[in-house]
Amino acid sequence: MSAMLDGLPRLRDMGEDDVSAVMSIEHAAYEFPWTENIMRDCFRFGYICKVYDSPDGILGYGVLSIGAGECHLLNVCIAPGHQRQGHGSRLVAHLLQTARQAGAHTALLEVRVSNDTAFRLYHRMGFNEIGTRKNYYPAAAGREDALVLMREL
């Protein structure tokens, strides 16, 4: 599917045939994963969907919406066995560059208050906390708040 002549991972557009592998990662990474229908709706709504593909299969994925000069990182995930290797940073940078090229000037995202690893990644990439969405995410003990992060592109 992807041309990896040097064997290195490549970012490419996600296709319908990638959804099964993406959902496997989603379920391995999250206690409350997106459903397959939500993932497929991303194609229907015209969101930018990318996968991080390698000779060993898909390592991660990202979903991005763009409109009115803003982009919203809706879902960014690297498979648990491939985290902390720089893939997440490269994926986010690629998504932000794609948004910039499409005319977005601002990037937004939400992150669980308990997800320190993701928060640190986004902070290193220039995102700043601008607010909180109360009870935004499902959690084992009810609901969990989300931090709203933003950066200029």
What residues are annotated to the active site?
A: 110, 122
Task: List the one residue out of 47, 48, 60 whose CA is nearest residue 9.
Answer: 60
CA distance 53 to 14: 9
Structure tokens at 131: 């607010």
Instruction: Decide if 51 contacts 14 (C-beta within 8 A).
Output: yes
- C-alpha distances (whole Å) from 29 to each of 26, 34, 150 are 5, 11, 24
